[in-house]
Structures are given as C-alpha cells and as structure tokens.
C-alpha cells in the first residue's frame, strides 16, 4: 500500500511593515549622506575662505 501526503507551509509576512521599515532605513541613510555632504562643504568653505569671509558672503546672499 502506498500513501501520499501533502504538506502545506505558510509564512506570515507583514509586507506593509517590512516595506515601511525598508523605506525608513533608506530615508535615514539618505539624510545622513546629505548631512555629511553639507558638513564637508561647510568645512571646505571655512578652510578656503575663512570664517569672516564666509559670514560676510552668507549675509550678502541673504540680504542682497
């Protein structure tokens, strides 16, 4: 006598949670990259022009 058995496996995946978790991780990573780039640009401007020239240029750009 031959017996055939079928096994069913189910996985409970919360797709919405996983998707939002991934999107949050990508968003945080991109914000960190933008912040690091902005800091690098500010440090570069301070080193090449000096702090007083940087403040003067900022005020001229905002008011002028």
Q: pLDDT tens across 4-54, in order?
A: 888 888 888 888 999 999 999 999 999 999 999 999 999 999 999 999 999
- The Cα–Cα gap between 43 and 56 comes to 16
Every domain of the chain and the residues it spans: 15-63
- The Cα–Cα gap between 32 and 10 comes to 38
pTM score of the predicted model:
0.64
Predicted confidence at residue 1, as pLDDT, reads 75
CB atoms within 10 A of CB 17: 9
C-alpha 32: how far from its chain's center? 5
CB atoms within 10 A of CB 54: 14
């Amino acid at each position: 006598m031959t017996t055939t058995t079928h096994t069913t496996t189910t996985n409970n995946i919360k797709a919405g949670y996983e998707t939002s978790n991934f999107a949050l991780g990508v968003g945080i990573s991109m914000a960190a990259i933008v912040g690091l780039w902005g800091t690098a640009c500010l440090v570069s401007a301070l080193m090449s022009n000096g702090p007083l020239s940087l403040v003067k240029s900022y005020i001229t750009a905002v008011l002028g």
